[in-house]
A and B are shown apart, each in its own frame.
Chain A
Amino acid sequence: MTLTGPGSASRRSLLAAMGAAAIGITFTACGEKPGTATAGAGEGSNLNFYNWDTYIGETTLADFKSASGIDVNMSLFANNDELFAKLKAGNPGYDVIVPSNEFVTRMVQANLIQPLDHTKLPNLKNIDPTFLNPDYDPGRKYSAPYTWLVLGIGYRKSKVKSVPDSWKWLFDSDQYKGRIALLSESADLIRLSAKYKGHSVNDIPPDLVAEIEKMLIRQKPFVKAFHDDNGQDMLVAGDVDLVLEYNGDIAQVMKDDPDIGFVIPKEGSLINSDSLCIPKGAPRPNNAHAFINYMMDAKAGAAISKTIMYPTPNAAAKALMPESYRNNPVIFPPAEVMARCEYGAFEGAEKAKFYEEVITRVRAS
């Protein structure tokens, strides 16, 4: 069920596999120090931030410290499942976390995150209004937008007959047999297949899922591998010519390899969005609000985007970015393309189990 997060560059998968994600990376070794100016009353001057790997600006934490006096200890997780599993057993002391859209709903339902106090977040005014009322968190009660991204097809231009602008080429055709890699995310595969069949990514009826299962079993012999969000590496290395990947991951490798292209199929796709949230039981909610507000600052946001190269929902930050980022059609697909994309909603634990079993069947067939 899960969107492995957005920024999921291959580095994340590597990290996950090494189990290194559990090890916090302490940026500031110093412990408690007398609180300074803006630090919340009685909370000391530090903050525990639980983030994705390679998902923050190079100097963001140091800049925040000089602005507010708060030391940020950043630890890293590799995917939403890890984040959820960790908080499920009780908050071990995190103040700010970065779940993806569907998981915001899931964690709200599981009573794991607390509402945000918008009066402490004046920088919400910088956010593009289209991101202020998403289905997964109406009114942004629990989450402040950080980045977003969209799934599409990364491809090697010299090896395809024409731009592969339909999910057909991944899910329902032997045209590129043995040269396709799919993301091994059960829910994403089923939802995008539903999109290909002309249905929404949500509320997929069981008979359509059965049809999708048949289609994927038929397609499996033509698939080279199910990748763990390292599709861009497989594409660069020449292992495959078509991959299901996030736009940000492909944008990173397109800079070095002009033979790589990215397209969002004409049927539409899945949007993901990472948000800043405060988990229940956070020891320093005031510092957490100050940090989230700082992350939505125009200059700070632009510095982050410069490093991580993912689309930003922060309109003021985007305005400060160079032309090559703002007008990159891979990072910011045209509005008419985005209009065909949807967020995948959290539809309950049973659905997650069901999708997982369908893909287990496909892979075992």
Chain B
Amino acid sequence: MEQSWKSARGIFAAALALPLFWLVVFFLFPLGIVWLYSFGENRGLTDIALTGTLSNYLRALEPLYLKIFVKSAGIAALTTGLCLVIGFPVALAITFAPPKAKGWLLMFIMLPFWTNLLIRTYALIAVLRNEGYINQSLRAGWGLANGLATRLGQAPLASFQPVELLHNNFAVVLGLVYVHLPFMVLPLYSALDRLDTSLLEASLDLGAGHLRTLFRIVVPLALPGIASGVLITFIPALGAYLTPDLLGGPDSQMIASVIERQFKRANDWPFGAAMSFLLMYLTFIGIAIQGALSRKSREPG
């Protein structure tokens, strides 16, 4: 039996009280303090005076930091794009997999979540480094080819040069895609799974090819799923800290590392807070865009 919450205000309030308390005390309140810090100035080594200054934000908008913001956004966008291109076929395949296999496939997607991010990143390092598994395999293959060449009387090949896979922007994007792919696949899957298959049959019956059906029917219907997948991939990728730090090279500085250094090494909490909140404002803008998109898709077209 369904009941309106209005008819059971007491129960509703009781059920809401604890989560609300939690949200306010452990989330909104500390966040509020950091927000206030972003309008403060350092006084000595341990104190922050809340002077209402905007200088932290102005400093964060200097070309130096703006460039790092833009670069981080670029890397996050590239990551999101790759996740979408790779994740969409995966989600589609899971949707049309036999029901028994579905559960397993979804579990394989979520399996990495059960491993600590740091462990996964170190595993990637072991795969990518100069003496890592990829380069060792290549070296073995090179050795075989070399042996074959000399047996055939050819001149021996040049000595093996390992492929530079680690400590560059390629490694950062690879690591970010690897980590964030499940964030993309799961919302896509939930959108595609709800899809009314009779619409697809109708499209095919009426003479549209598979590709045309995909792009004219499936993609528009899955748009809210795509939008939320893009959002929840883009936001953590933009604030990624561990991955660029461990896999990146001297050029791979992202904004989260700069923020971390303000809170620790530079001991400049107000400036770090201002940059964190700029990142959060960007997130709000992203959520607003996503909200607008999903409203639009609900309107009759």
Contact call B130/A239, Cβ cutoff below 8 A: yes
Could you say which residues of chain B place their CB within 8 Å of the CB of A176? none
| CB 8 Å contact bits of B114-150 with A (1 = contact, 0 = none) | 0010100000000001110000000000000000000
Determine if A82 is an interface residue (Cβ-Cβ < 8 Å): yes
Identify the closest chain B residue to A79 (Cβ). Answer: B264
Interface bin, chain A = 35 or more
Determine if A2 is an interface residue (Cβ-Cβ < 8 Å): yes
Could you say which residues of chain A place their CB within 8 Å of the CB of B271? 353
Contact call A360/B64, Cβ cutoff below 8 A: yes
Asked whether A352 and B265 contact (CB < 8 A) given A225-B249, A360-B253, the answer is yes
Contact call A1/B267, Cβ cutoff below 8 A: yes
Contact call B118/A18, Cβ cutoff below 8 A: yes
Contact partner of B263 (CB less than 8 A), chosen from A2, A85, A349, A352, is A85
Would you give the shortest CB distance from B137 to chain A, in whole angstroms?
16
**Segment from B42-50, B201-209, B215-223 that makes contact with A:** B42-50
A88 and B266 alpha carbons, distance in the complex (Å): 14
Determine if A81 is an interface residue (Cβ-Cβ < 8 Å): yes
Contact partner of B116 (CB less than 8 A), chosen from A18, A106, A185, A228, is A18
Contact call B46/A88, Cβ cutoff below 8 A: yes
Contact partner of B164 (CB less than 8 A), chosen from A88, A178, A187, A353, is A178
Contact call A237/B249, Cβ cutoff below 8 A: no
Contact call A2/B265, Cβ cutoff below 8 A: yes
Judged by DSSP, the binding face of A is helix
Identify the closest chain B residue to A187 (Cβ). Answer: B265
Q: How many A-B residue pairs have CB under 8 A?
A: 93
Name A179-231 residues within 8 Å CB distance of B.
Answer: 185-187, 220-221, 223-226, 228
Determine if A129 is an interface residue (Cβ-Cβ < 8 Å): no
A52 and B67 alpha carbons, distance in the complex (Å): 36
Could you say which residues of chain B place their CB within 8 Å of the CB of A186? 261, 265
Identify the closest chain A residue to B253 (Cβ). Answer: A363
Name B244-300 residues within 8 Å CB distance of A.
Answer: 245-246, 248-251, 253, 258, 261-268, 271
Determine if B242 is an interface residue (Cβ-Cβ < 8 Å): yes
Determine if A30 is an interface residue (Cβ-Cβ < 8 Å): no
Could you say which residues of chain A place their CB within 8 Å of the CB of B131? 237-239
Determine if A110 is an interface residue (Cβ-Cβ < 8 Å): yes
Determine if A137 is an interface residue (Cβ-Cβ < 8 Å): no
Determine if B68 is an interface residue (Cβ-Cβ < 8 Å): yes
Contact call B46/A356, Cβ cutoff below 8 A: no
Asked whether A356 and B118 contact (CB < 8 A) given A106-B45, A110-B44, A238-B130, the answer is no
Contact call B262/A356, Cβ cutoff below 8 A: yes
Could you say which residues of chain B place their CB within 8 Å of the CB of A185? 265
Determine if B180 is an interface residue (Cβ-Cβ < 8 Å): no
Identify the closest chain A residue to B122 (Cβ). Answer: A14
Contact call A224/B167, Cβ cutoff below 8 A: yes
Could you say which residues of chain A place their CB within 8 Å of the CB of B249? 223-225
Contact call A237/B266, Cβ cutoff below 8 A: no
Contact call A356/B245, Cβ cutoff below 8 A: no
A73 and B68 alpha carbons, distance in the complex (Å): 43
Identify the closest chain A residue to B121 (Cβ). Answer: A17
Contact call A364/B64, Cβ cutoff below 8 A: yes
A18 and B116 alpha carbons, distance in the complex (Å): 8
Contact call B263/A1, Cβ cutoff below 8 A: no
A329 and B116 alpha carbons, distance in the complex (Å): 40
Could you say which residues of chain B place their CB within 8 Å of the CB of A11? none
Determine if A266 is an interface residue (Cβ-Cβ < 8 Å): no
A356 and B265 alpha carbons, distance in the complex (Å): 8
Determine if A361 is an interface residue (Cβ-Cβ < 8 Å): yes
Determine if A109 is an interface residue (Cβ-Cβ < 8 Å): yes
Determine if B235 is an interface residue (Cβ-Cβ < 8 Å): no
| CB 8 Å contact bits of B58-94 with A (1 = contact, 0 = none) | 0000001101100100000000000000000000000
Contact call A85/B250, Cβ cutoff below 8 A: no
Q: Which one of B118, B249, B258, B265 has the highest number of Cβ atoms from chain A below 10 Å of its Cβ?
A: B265
Could you say which residues of chain B place their CB within 8 Å of the CB of A356? 261-262, 265-266, 268
Contact call B118/A349, Cβ cutoff below 8 A: no
Identify the closest chain B residue to A110 (Cβ). Answer: B45
A361 and B64 alpha carbons, distance in the complex (Å): 7
Name A2-35 residues within 8 Å CB distance of B.
Answer: 2, 14, 17-18
Identify the closest chain A residue to B44 (Cβ). Answer: A110
Determine if A84 is an interface residue (Cβ-Cβ < 8 Å): yes
Asked whether A84 and B250 contact (CB < 8 A) given A238-B130, A239-B130, A360-B64, the answer is no
Contact call A349/B267, Cβ cutoff below 8 A: yes
| CB 8 Å contact bits of A70-111 with B (1 = contact, 0 = none) | 000000000101101100100000000000000000100111
30 A-B pairs in the complex with CB atoms less than 8 angstroms apart? A1-B267, A2-B265, A17-B242, A18-B118, A81-B267, A82-B264, A88-B46, A106-B45, A220-B250, A220-B251, A223-B249, A224-B250, A225-B249, A228-B245, A228-B246, A237-B129, A237-B130, A238-B129, A238-B130, A239-B129, A239-B131, A349-B45, A352-B266, A353-B266, A356-B261, A356-B262, A356-B268, A360-B65, A360-B253, A364-B68
Give me the interface of B with A, judged by CB distance under 8 Å.
Answer: 42, 44-46, 64-65, 67-68, 71, 116, 118, 129-131, 164, 166-167, 242, 245-246, 248-251, 253, 258, 261-268, 271
Given contacts A1-B267, A110-B45, A178-B164, 19 further A-B contacts (CB under 8 A): A14-B118, A17-B242, A79-B264, A109-B45, A220-B251, A223-B250, A224-B167, A225-B249, A226-B250, A237-B130, A239-B129, A352-B265, A357-B266, A360-B64, A360-B258, A363-B250, A363-B251, A364-B67, A364-B68
